[in-house]
Amino acid sequence: HAEIRLVAPDRIEGPVEGWRDVAPGEVGEVVVRGPITMLGYWQRPEATAATLRGEWLRTGDLATRDADFDTTLVGRAREMYISGGENVYPAEVEATLVEHPDVVEAAVVAIPDREWGEVGRAYVVLREGADLDREALAAWLASRLARYKQPREIVLREALPRTASGKVQKHRL
């Protein structure tokens, strides 16, 4: 069997002995250990050291849990950005965007900002025939997301760049 923990982000870089599991509702990094966990990356000791802490594997996924330990993934650690001193998880913003009936898909990336440190830029694909502009979408989002989570820019696209397996290539946006 495998063990899974959600470790507080402020402790994940330190030794395993200092790790603290998150409380319900807090965001933590998912770490796992067990017989199926990899031993390391072939001839890449730096990558192995960054990913493995003793027997624990850092997945790079961020999640929350409730009091019953039901877990919800909220995004990837490397995609999270800090806006106005607050953590923003692009997956949460993307999920909110696609709740709009005219939005087919969305991808959010961080861009530098002098005042906020980083802000989001949302790339949005609308359903065919939709009559929705950026301003109307921004107003709709404002009623659903805290100000620091709202993308500063919205870019409408016909499609998002994808890999051969269908994954969105955010680095190309």
pLDDT in tens, 3-47: 999 999 888 888 888 899 999 999 999 999 999 899 999 999 999
pLDDT at 138: 97
Q: Record the tokens describing residue 16, joined without a space.
A: 């395993």
| Cα gap 149→83, rounded to integer Å | 8
| Cα gap 113→95, rounded to integer Å | 23
| Cα gap 60→53, rounded to integer Å | 13
**Residue-range domains of the chain with CATH:** 3-76 (2.30.38.10), 81-172 (3.30.300.30)
pLDDT at 141: 97
Give yes or no for a contact between 76 and 88, defined as CB atoms under 8 angstroms apart: no
pLDDT at 152: 96
pLDDT at 46: 94
pLDDT at 1: 87
Low-confidence ranges of the chain (pLDDT < 70): none
The contacts found for 160-165 with CB under 8 angstroms, 24 or more apart, are: 160/105, 160/107, 160/123, 160/125
